Amino acid sequence: MPHFFAQNFSDQNPPDQNLFDPNLSWQAFPFEADGYDFLFEAKSLKNPKESLIGVRYGDMLFFIRKIQRENEILFKGEKNTKPHPIGILKGALRVLAKKTHLLSHNLNNDSMRQVVRSRFLLKPSEIPARKLEGFCIEIGFGSGRHLLRMAQKNPDKTFIGVEIHTPSIEQVLRQIELLGIENIVIACVDARVLLEILPSNQCEAIYVHFPVPWNKKPHRRVISARLLSEALRVLKQNKAIELRTDDAVYFKDSFHIVMEMKNAKLEIAKNLSGEVVSKYEARWQRQHKDIFDLRIFSLNEDEAKKIEYDFKIDFVIFKHPEAFKNIPKIVREDYFLHICDVFVCDALVIFSVSFGDFNWAINKMIVFDKENQTASYVGDIPLATPANIKAHQELLTLLAEER
């Protein structure tokens, strides 16, 4: 993540002042520089040494987190609002770095893929709105070799690439442009959540190639009984989800999950070359490692599934935001809600929240504008999964209580 460390703010700190006083006002907000609007600095109510700097670039709003330490100040992107491409965030940090006594940074010049906004990168909530018929999904596409090649060989199909690793996303988006491929869209999202909101019986194939094994933390794996259930619902009848792995433990555990199903049809292979040899597969072949394939087929036509929900917050009640900073985590049978932090400035209250499914939680920032009486999620809205909907409704109930 782009960041820099500063010794002190250079604009208004004379030499005899305490250079590390977190209450020093180093720059009046708002101000504009190099195409960025720096809107406000909101202080954390849980940790007085932390704050959020709100930045607008074009149609994007994102935050920079400022953390006061004993001998330095850290500025870094707030990961829950991180813009794409990452060069947008780096540019904002470079503007701030010029106003400080800079100690160190990782803000070197951007590569081409870090500054070009791609029309092929979609918000997760935009995926269901597209015409999704006969599409294929690759979960964790890494270098993108398999995804790109399959899209080239099948121009009549739409390929959805799902990945959470930003450098991989930026690399593949650049390759899509260079190769002139038109039938790929990319989403930065947890695939386990995305599958829950996709239509039934429409997918041609789901590829999970060389996922992280997580043998010591199996709950973090992509393959689980719940994911397989959603994947088989999304797939057309007799189409398959394909796991390809070099990890024997992962393969065996996945096989046992399938064997617990009431009905199952599967194919197993060992050390057979795939249609497209990925970077990882080529490496394992050179090392003479075993490679395992497990294909699980969808056997049924499932009922149509379409959940629509408007994550609107149509009221603002914030006379005492301090009352929300120490609320314990709310845990229900099938979802949870946690207010992680509350940030305040003159006109705004910002909630950092974590909620949804216990294993597949999402983290969001919500901005409440007291002056204009508006409230909204920063960036994309949550996906309309049952757990997310229930947690959002719990949040609305919580905010409406008298405090």
Mean pLDDT, residues 127-136 taken together: 80
- Predicted confidence at residue 138, as pLDDT, reads 97
State residue 391 phi and psi, 5-degree precision: -65, -40
Beta strand residue intervals within 95-148, DSSP E: 100-105, 121-122, 135-139
- Predicted confidence at residue 281, as pLDDT, reads 77
Band (pLDDT 50/70/90 cuts) for residue 157 is: very high
- Predicted confidence at residue 318, as pLDDT, reads 58
> First vs last Cα of the chain: how many Å apart?
37
- Predicted confidence at residue 401, as pLDDT, reads 67
Band (pLDDT 50/70/90 cuts) for residue 85 is: confident
- Predicted confidence at residue 34, as pLDDT, reads 92
Tokens of 329: 């985590």
Mean pLDDT, residues 93-112 taken together: 84
Q: Which residue has the higher pLDDT, 323 or 36?
A: 36
By CB atoms closer than 10 A (0-12, 13-18, 19+), residue 369 is middle
At 390 the three-state DSSP class reads helix
Mean pLDDT, residues 277-304 taken together: 85
- Measured CA distances, 287 to 156, 275, 280 (Å): 36, 20, 11
Mean pLDDT, residues 272-300 taken together: 84
Q: Which domains does the chain have, with CATH numbers?
A: 3-112 (no CATH), 118-297 (3.40.50.150), 321-400 (no CATH)
- Predicted confidence at residue 114, as pLDDT, reads 60
Q: Which residue has the higher pLDDT, 86 or 270?
A: 270
Helix (H) or strand (E) holding 124, with range, is none
- Predicted confidence at residue 115, as pLDDT, reads 59
Note the pLDDT tens digit of each residue in 55-74.
Answer: 999 999 999 999 999 889 99
Q: How far apart are CA 358 and CA 379, in angstroms?
A: 22
Model confidence, pTM: 0.85
- Predicted confidence at residue 285, as pLDDT, reads 77
Note the pLDDT tens digit of each residue in 196-236.
Answer: 999 899 999 999 999 999 999 998 899 999 999 999 999 99
Question: Residue 247, by phi and psi: left (phi above 0), alpha (psi -120 to 50) or beta?
Answer: beta
By CB atoms closer than 10 A (0-12, 13-18, 19+), residue 256 is exposed
At 16 the three-state DSSP class reads coil
Mean pLDDT, residues 65-86 taken together: 91
**What mean pLDDT value characterizes the chain?**
88
Band (pLDDT 50/70/90 cuts) for residue 394 is: very high
Neighbours of 326 (CB within 10 A): 10
- Predicted confidence at residue 20, as pLDDT, reads 34
Asked if residue 392 lies in contact with residue 108, where contact means CB atoms within 8 angstroms, the answer is no
Query: What's at 148, amino acid-wise?
Result: L
Pairing of strands 158-163, 135-139: parallel
Q: Which residue has the higher pLDDT, 33 or 280?
A: 33
Residue 172 CA from chain centroid, whole number: 17
Mean pLDDT, residues 370-399 taken together: 91
Band (pLDDT 50/70/90 cuts) for residue 27 is: low
- Predicted confidence at residue 252, as pLDDT, reads 97
261 pLDDT more than 60:
yes
- Predicted confidence at residue 111, as pLDDT, reads 61
Q: How far apart are CA 388 and CA 403, in angstroms?
A: 24
Note the pLDDT tens digit of each residue in 324-380.
Answer: 888 899 999 999 999 999 999 988 999 999 999 988 899 999 999 888 888 999 989
